[in-house]
Amino acid sequence: MTAGLVAELELSRGPLALAVHLAVAPGATVAVLGPNGAGKTTLLRALAGLVALDRGCVELDGAVLEQAPGGPWAPPEHRSVAMVFQDHALFPHLSALDNVAFGLRARGMGRRAARTRAAERLDRLGLADRADARPGQLSGGEAQRVALARALAVEPRLLLLDEPLAALDATTRLTTRRELARHLAGHGGARLLVTHDPLDAMALADHLVVLEAGRIVQEGSSAELAGRPRSAYVADLVGVNLFRGRADGDRVDVGGAGLVVSARASGDVLAVVHPRAVVLHRVRPDGSPRNVWRGPVEEIEPAGDRARVRVGGPRPMVAEVTAAAVADLGLVPGAEVWVAVKATEIDVYPA
């Protein structure tokens, strides 16, 4: 018997063709990231039984929830699956207590027992004093916790979270993220989180899965994704420069422009450069860097005491420099700068 979630599913919805193989162990949290339209929410809805598969199989703790075409299909209410929606989806006319009790009542539990368990769950999430409040009287963070309490109250073997922090402001988001991480750690079932925010994914999940155009393009730990991204989206997600090109010895041709690297390679490769390894100058530098070219500053994005500077030219590159360097170099959009990258700072691996 296989514990946890094992799913291999295919389905088409309009222009989206989703084909995914996914496994989540009990007690583990997997985060699914991807651009808009990648199929993240459709994946969750398919696992919950809200969208039918064209082909494939969904198993939870060894029980087949769905097999298509022509096999068994368990309706949503008969799956040990609970979902936390992005907009919380709380019933506006019910109190927080009755919102949490709703799922228990739907599964056949008596009113008194359901309200008792709901009260216990609200107390665990620090909401005992908000039990009588309706959703319109709750803050964004409180509403998110009520939605989580409702999902956890039914003790699902699979918990699905669809952008659970997206509707929160920046201050509430930090606090709620910490609380959510603590409550997820106390849930013994499999957890699948959909998000577009890499900080949420890294803080809440043990394993990351990147979905693009309905396909998994990469998965692993945050360190593995940052070290060797396999698509432009993943590179942007983890904040590194990525080039796709063809290697011949110690040179990589990236769209007509070349990069000199320290490791010899051949064939189609990916080359990654961390922004902190990129040095900017106002005059052509002397010394050891073997990759030097000129380009215009296109964008400067402050990031605390540092800034990310996007430079155009034959090899567009993002550099991360101190705020003091921005001032000292007189960096403004349109300014011409020299970009320097040491060959030893470029990691090359097969495409």
pLDDT digits (tens, 9 = 90+) for 152-174: 888 899 999 998 888 777 777 88
Give residue-wise pLDDT tens across range 274-313.
999 999 999 998 876 678 999 999 999 998 889 999 999 8
Q: Which tens digits make up the pLDDT trace of 183-217? A: 888 889 999 999 988 889 999 998 999 999 999 99
Residues with Cβ within 8 Å of 103's Cβ and at least 6 positions away in sequence, in order, are 82, 150, 151, 153, 154
What is the dotted CATH code of the domain comprising 5-235? 3.40.50.300
Predicted confidence at residue 88, as pLDDT, reads: 81
Whether domain 240-350 has CATH 2.40.50.100: yes
Q: What is the pLDDT of residue 300?
A: 96
Helix (H) / strand (E) containing 175: helix 170-185
- The pLDDT value given to residue 288: 64
Residue 342 contacts by C-beta under 8 Å, 6 or more apart in sequence? 277, 288, 289, 290, 291
List CB contacts of 287: < 8 A, sequence separation 6 or more: none
pTM: 0.86
pLDDT of 168: 77
- Give the angle 318-321-327 at the CA atoms, nearest 5°: 115
User: 227-252 burial by CB neighbour count: b if 16+ within 10 A, else e?
Assistant: ebbbeebbbebbbbbbbebebeeebb
d(CA 338, CA 285): 8
Burial class, 154, CB count within 10 angstroms (exposed 0-12 / middle 13-18 / buried 19+): buried
Handedness of CA 49, 222, 181, 165 (dihedral sign): negative
Tokens of 281: 């100058």
Q: CB atoms < 10 A from the CB of 273, how many?
A: 23
Q: Is there a contact between 299 and 309 (Cβ–Cβ < 8 Å)? A: yes
Which pLDDT score, from 0 to 100, does residue 345 have?
92
State the pLDDT at residue 273. 94
DSSP-derived 3-state class of residue 45: helix
Closest by Cα among 164, 234, 293, 219 to 21? 219
Residues paired with residue 98 on neighbouring β-strands, in sequence order:
none
CA angle 154, 61, 54 (to 5 degrees): 95
Cross-strand bridge partners of residue 347: 272
Same CATH fold assignment for domains 5-235 and 240-350: no
Q: Walk along the chain (351 residues) in steps of 10 and give the mean pLDDT of each run.
A: 88 94 95 94 95 96 94 92 87 94 88 93 90 92 88 92 83 82 89 92 93 96 90 92 91 83 88 94 82 94 92 92 93 94 92 88
pLDDT at 289: 67
Q: Distance between CA 101 and CA 112 in Å, rounded?
A: 9
Give the model's pLDDT for residue 177: 86
Domain boundaries, the chain: 5-235, 240-350
| DSSP one-letter code for 285 | P
